[in-house]
Amino acid sequence: MVKREGKILIIDDNEDILLAASLLLKQHFTVVHTEQNPKTLPNLLKNESYDVILLDMNFTQDVTSGSEGFFWLEKILSIDASVVVILITAYGDVEMAVRAIKEGALDFVLKPWQNEKLLATISAALNLRHSRKEVEKLRSRQQQLSSDIDQRFHDMVAVSPNMLEVFGSIKKVAATDANILIVGENGTGKELVARALHRGSQRSGEVFISVDMGAIAETLFESELFGYMKGAFTDAKESRPGRFEVASGGTLFLDEIGNLPLYLQAKLLRVLETRQIVRLGSSKPVDVDIRLICATNMPISDMVARNEFRQDLLYRINTVEINLPPLRARQEDIPLLVEHFAAIYSRKYKKDITGVNAAALKKLQKYHWPGNIRELQHAIERAVILTDLSTLSPGDFLCPEPGQVSEEAVFFDSYNLEYVEKMVIRRALAKHSGNVTHAAEELGLTRMSLYRRMERYGL
């Protein structure tokens, strides 16, 4: 007979019970220990990790009430909350069994037991124990990953005054549940700020769900955010929770909030007011508890003036507004960022890069970085990949010097922002032969955001 892996402890003041249980269980499980005195439990549990504990309810000082058993049940679970406890007694009743389950025991076994039933109960207990250990392992792994990704100001390397001001704002508002609006150009690190806010909040142990509103087709906004029931539409083969439900208890980050259409802005406002969502195809409200953080690179105030964004929703989402400066406004941070990204990509690509020489650094500091930190990061990655030397030099970077006119320069006869945007989009599309994916990548937009702008400008 193949024994099942499992470490079992039996605690009973009756030697005959211990012997009978031990003889039975040792035939089926790899490790079986016995103990008469429950007072040794604290030391036992400090030195050993048991999967299942069979605990007598009544010891010699207390024959029938079970109070000793409940006392030691609480003590066991306070030392090891993941161990599975099965209570055993000769004086059981329904009320005592119900109380045992409520206080954390898996099951309640009466003496004399039936061998098959006891073995089945212990097997079920081992399954539960293994599931708990797996969940704890996954949780621990998730926490470690979150710690690596979400450590305070991760990748937010800065010494410039305006960025130190941003860090100060994060510290002040992170612990609150206030709704935050992060404003900044593409590539300035808005999601990093959102993650830092989550990491510093009371919800840091819960999920952080990020939704790129610019990457979701308008027809799918509602189902993605609020979920749907099976049969709600043609492809709804099964019910599915939306991002609000998934994020409940944690933080929901809505990036590019300016892309949300007006009819859904009204629904989002209602959700924020009632703290309830209704899935597509259902009339039943579902309670949600989220901390909302939004971000945009669009002029929301101008959109409100043009009736493209609801003013009452803007009031709801920007209890506190954090403005991220573009990289060109924080030149003193460039050397730190260059060193940071060079170290990351040197490790990633197994290159022995010792740094960036002074001439290269000067070139990088003179460039205006329209794509901000994201563009700098890509430039460093490309340089690390292509260089054959241990030090990055000016030739490793394609940034045009001030005063130079690159082949891709775009000239405007008007500084109207809509006209400029239209011309830039047209030039990017022409450069990439109409490939929307490549044009969007160069413009720092998602494909859906670019499609919407193309539709707006008739391109």
pLDDT the model gives residue 274: 94
Nearest CA to 299 out of 183, 218, 401 is that of: 183
The predicted model gives 268-277 an average pLDDT of 93
pLDDT the model gives residue 219: 79
pLDDT the model gives residue 287: 92
The predicted model gives 388-410 an average pLDDT of 70
d(CA 131, CA 122): 14
The predicted model gives 173-201 an average pLDDT of 93
The predicted model gives 50-55 an average pLDDT of 91
Q: What is the mean pLDDT of the chain?
A: 85
pLDDT the model gives residue 145: 57
Paired tokens of 395: 């030739």
The predicted model gives 213-233 an average pLDDT of 85
pLDDT the model gives residue 66: 59
The predicted model gives 271-283 an average pLDDT of 91
Q: Please determine, for residue 368, whether its predicted confidence score (pLDDT) is greater than 80.
A: yes
Q: Please determine, for residue 327, whether its predicted confidence score (pLDDT) is greater than 90.
A: yes
CA distances from 287 to 7, 177, 202, 238 (A): 41, 17, 19, 21
Paired tokens of 313: 């929703």
d(CA 1, CA 234): 53
pLDDT the model gives residue 32: 93
Percentage of the chain beyond pLDDT 90 is 41
d(CA 55, CA 21): 12
Least-confidence region, from 121-125, 145-149, 170-174? 145-149
pLDDT the model gives residue 414: 56
Least-confidence region, from 89-98, 217-226, 264-273, 320-329? 89-98
Can the peptide bond before residue 42 be classed as cis, meaning omega within 30 degrees of 0? Answer: no
Highest average pLDDT, of 91-105, 347-361, 387-401, comes from 347-361
Could you tell me the pLDDT band of residue 150, with boundaries at 50, 70 and 90? Answer: very low
Least-confidence region, from 229-243, 327-341, 418-432? 418-432
Q: Please determine, for residue 404, whether its predicted confidence score (pLDDT) is greater than 60.
A: no
Could you tell me the pLDDT band of residue 151, with boundaries at 50, 70 and 90? Answer: very low
Nearest CA to 106 out of 83, 90, 75, 89 is that of: 83
pLDDT the model gives residue 410: 52
Taken in order of first residue, the domains within the chain and their CATH numbers are 4-138 (3.40.50.2300), 151-323 (3.40.50.300), 327-396 (1.10.8.60), 417-457 (1.10.10)
**Total residue length of the chain:** 459
Q: Please determine, for residue 49, whether its predicted confidence score (pLDDT) is greater than 70.
A: yes
Q: Please determine, for residue 142, whether its predicted confidence score (pLDDT) is greater than 70.
A: no
Whether 295 and 260 have beta carbons less than 8 Å apart is answered as: no
Per residue in 2-17, pLDDT tens? 888 889 999 988 888 8
Least-confidence region, from 26-35, 332-341, 386-395, 406-415? 406-415
d(CA 181, CA 319): 8
The predicted model gives 87-98 an average pLDDT of 72
Least-confidence region, from 68-77, 122-131, 265-274, 336-345? 68-77
- 280: DSSP letter: B
Could you tell me the pLDDT band of residue 226, with boundaries at 50, 70 and 90? Answer: very high
Nearest CA to 294 out of 375, 218, 204, 214 is that of: 214
- Residues ≥6 apart with Cβ < 8 Å to 12: 18, 21, 34, 36, 54, 56, 88
The predicted model gives 137-143 an average pLDDT of 63
What sections of 368-446 are H helices per DSSP?
Answer: 372-386, 417-431, 436-443
pLDDT the model gives residue 400: 63
Nearest CA to 259 out of 224, 285, 290 is that of: 224
d(CA 252, CA 200): 14
pLDDT the model gives residue 411: 52
pLDDT the model gives residue 405: 44
DSSP labels for 302-316? HHHHTTSS-HHHHHH
Highest average pLDDT, of 40-49, 125-134, 229-238, 240-249, comes from 240-249
Q: Hey, which residues does 268 pair with through a beta bridge?
A: none
Percentage of the chain beyond pLDDT 70 is 89
Paired tokens of 80: 């090891």
Least-confidence region, from 122-136, 147-161, 246-260, 313-327? 147-161
Whether 379 and 337 have beta carbons less than 8 Å apart is answered as: no
Least-confidence region, from 124-128, 200-204, 246-250, 418-422? 418-422
Whether 104 and 85 have beta carbons less than 8 Å apart is answered as: yes
pLDDT the model gives residue 144: 54
CA distances from 327 to 128, 162, 400 (A): 52, 11, 16
pLDDT the model gives residue 330: 92
Could you tell me the pLDDT band of residue 152, with boundaries at 50, 70 and 90? Answer: very low
CA distances from 37 to 15, 105, 343 (A): 11, 20, 59
pLDDT the model gives residue 10: 92
The predicted model gives 23-48 an average pLDDT of 89
Could you tell me the pLDDT band of residue 140, with boundaries at 50, 70 and 90? Answer: low
310-315, Cβ contacts within 8 angstroms, sequence gap of 24 or more: 310/262, 310/265, 310/266, 310/269, 312/269, 313/265, 313/266, 313/268, 313/269, 313/272, 314/181
